[in-house]
Amino acid sequence: DACPETSGHLTHFGQRPMASFTPSHLRSWLRALEENGLAVAYRRVIFAHVSTVFTAAVEDRIIHENPCRARSVKAPRLDPRKVVPWSYDRVSAVRRALDDRYRVLVDLAAGCGLRQGEAFGLGVEDIDFAGGTLHVVRQVKLLGGRPVFALPKGGKVRDVPLPDSVAASLTAHLARYPAYEVKLPWRTLDGPVVSVPLVCRTSADKAIDRNHFNAQYWRPALLAGGVKPGPGNGMHALRHFYASVLLDAGESIKALSEYLGHADPAFTLRTYTHFMPSSDSRTRAAVDALFAEPSRSDGP
């Protein structure tokens, strides 16, 4: 039986026996998926599931070869477009358009690189104002449409620098909206209940639901700020802005990777290498600086 993710997209195959499939059948099916307007990432998932089924059939000696692995059958390829960071003006425009209760979320994402769920899960005890540090130790995530507390993505807790400007924003926010103890299960819906004095919460003193926030607050703020809603313009765009600011200022990929909570600095490099100052510009500047100085062998 096909898995739920793929079953609705296999009618193109009909009742054809597995042994009768050829690479041309797979190519035709992939074209049909593309013509139906399915996202590339989703088509990749479907293709992977179908290929797994054929691989199992090979191992069970039902068929000799997996047609998905033919050289003429290409898995859907993700769009290789580079990340384009938002401008400061765009960040400011969207921030101004947000409800006052949620503006500090922009500061946490654009000024400290927090993911959306991490900003939702920030507790007041996680802020070290004296040391200028944020301790990123949890997120709010949805399981079956219900919120739970959990570790950050990949289980990777981290400390990030807290700029004075973001600290001032947090102080002002907490003066208007004092932290409130919110109780949620930890990791699973039946996990132990954990109480956290959240920095950001709804007007009903509940943890922020990302689906409701994105639809009712983030999308209207984008439109009011002159930004088209859609891929690339979610709150994650603020992390890209943060990365662009740090790299432009000369921060290292290793440090940026740690601040963003990436498991591998190589991923950070692949994602943001085009944000880094041009190496040829640095080379010209370095050589010019050297040759602009009088040689030690020259006389006075």
* 92 and 234 in a common domain: yes
* 192 and 139 in a common domain: yes
* 118 and 240 in a common domain: yes
Model confidence over 114-129: pLDDT tens digits? 999 999 999 999 999 9
Q: Is 204 or 292 the better-scoring residue by pLDDT?
A: 204
104 within some domain: yes
17 within some domain: yes
Residue 35 φ then ψ, to 5°: -65, -25
282 within some domain: no
Q: Which residues contact 182 (CB under 8 A, 6 or more apart)?
A: 195, 196, 197, 198, 201, 205, 206, 207
149 within some domain: yes
Identify the domain containing residue 214 by its residue range.
88-275
Read off the pTM.
0.71
Contact indicator for 23, 73 with CB cutoff of 8 Å: yes
Residue recorded with tokens 């068929």: 63
82 within some domain: no
* 134 and 32 in a common domain: no
Model confidence over 237-275: pLDDT tens digits? 999 999 999 998 889 999 999 999 998 898 898 889 888
Strand ranges (DSSP E) for 163-226?
180-185, 193-198
Angle between helices 236-248 and 253-260 (to 10 degrees): 150
pLDDT grade for 111, boundaries at 50, 70 and 90: very high
Q: How far is CA 167 from CA 127, 134, 188, 271, 292, in A?
A: 9, 10, 32, 28, 43
151 within some domain: yes
Mean pLDDT to the nearest integer, 42-56: 90
User: Read out DSSP for 203-263?
Assistant: TTS-PPPHHHHIIIIIHHHHHHTT---STT-STHHHHHHHHHHHHHTT--HHHHHHHHT-S
Nearest of 160, 153, 163 to residue 262 by alpha carbon: 153
Furthest-apart CA atoms within the chain: distance in Å? 91
* 143 and 36 in a common domain: no
* 203 and 55 in a common domain: no
* 109 and 251 in a common domain: yes
Quote the CA–CA distance of 128 and 130 in Å, as a whole number.
6
Total tally of structural domains belonging to the chain: 2
> What strands lie across the sheet with 127-128, from one edge to the other?
127-128, 133-136, 158-161
The enclosing domain of 250 has a CATH number of: 1.10.443.10
* 28 and 139 in a common domain: no
* 219 and 162 in a common domain: yes
pLDDT grade for 9, boundaries at 50, 70 and 90: low
* 171 and 32 in a common domain: no
298 within some domain: no
* 92 and 65 in a common domain: no
76 within some domain: no
Residue recorded with tokens 């946490």: 108
